[in-house]
Chains A and B, each alone.
Chain A
Amino acid sequence: EIVLTQSPGTLSLSPGERATLSCRASQSVSSSYLAWYQQKPGQAPRLLIYGASSRATGIPDRFSGSGSGTDFTLTISRLEPEDFAVYYCQQYGSSPWVTFGPGTKVDIK
């Protein structure tokens, strides 16, 4: 089983700042089958990034993903008020099994 670790656990930033979230896998994620999701309180998760770096439909370009192998990054270039949420990475390279990371909370400083 591929185990995902996310850091930091909590990121305290101000609107307008840049957010850099890390996701590290216990073994290489094949073909960069890694996704990022955003979840706000009381809501279902929303797909942001798939294939490590492709933005999902309707996702603003301030969100970008990068990385390969075991190290992946989600960057939010300039935080908007609606971006304060919990972010999860997910690998689907070991199909059919899927695993999620523990999440990074981005909160207002």
Chain B
Amino acid sequence: QVQLVESGGGVVQPGRSLRLSCAASGFTFSSYGMHWVRQAPGKGLEWVAVISYDGSNKYYADSVKGRFTISRDNSKNTLYLQMNSLRAEDTAVYYCAKDADIVAIRTSEIDYWGQGTLVTVSS
């Protein structure tokens, strides 16, 4: 069965950096686009970034562009999110999520989600 397990969350001071990881299993990781989606405490879902199945294309929400970098290592079945210049408003649960379409040229619906990792930005 598909499993997505996030790690790397924690408490970090404003302006500092953090790297999240997502270990994937139960499917052919290298064939699917992957997303990061976040949810601030008590708030709704906010899409953060997507990376194509082969890592050649990456896209970001305006709120994180220039500060966050999505990447993947298909040999390790792992997705990453490097977060720099963190702000209080980046405080959220960060979900790793799998795109539904195989070897897709466009984004599709999200069919599997991890359980999330909490990032708290506070001094």
Contacts and interface: CB of A to CB of B under 8 A. Distances in A.
Contact of B114 (A44, A47, A98): A44
Given A44-B95, A44-B114, A95 B107 contact: yes
Interface residues of B, number: 23
Q: Is chain B's binding surface mostly helix, strand, loop or mixed? A: strand
Interface string B15-38: 000000000000000000001010
B59 A56 contact: no
Contacts of A46: 113
B88 interface: no
Contacts of A92: 106-109
A45 B107 contact: no
A76 B114 CA distance: 25
Nearest to B62: A1
A92 B100 CA distance: 12
Interface of A: 33, 35, 37, 39, 43-47, 50-51, 56, 88, 90, 92, 95-103
The list of the 3 closest CB pairs from A to B, nearest first, reads A44-B113, A95-B106, A50-B109
Interface of B: 35, 37, 44-47, 50, 57, 59, 61, 95, 100, 106-116
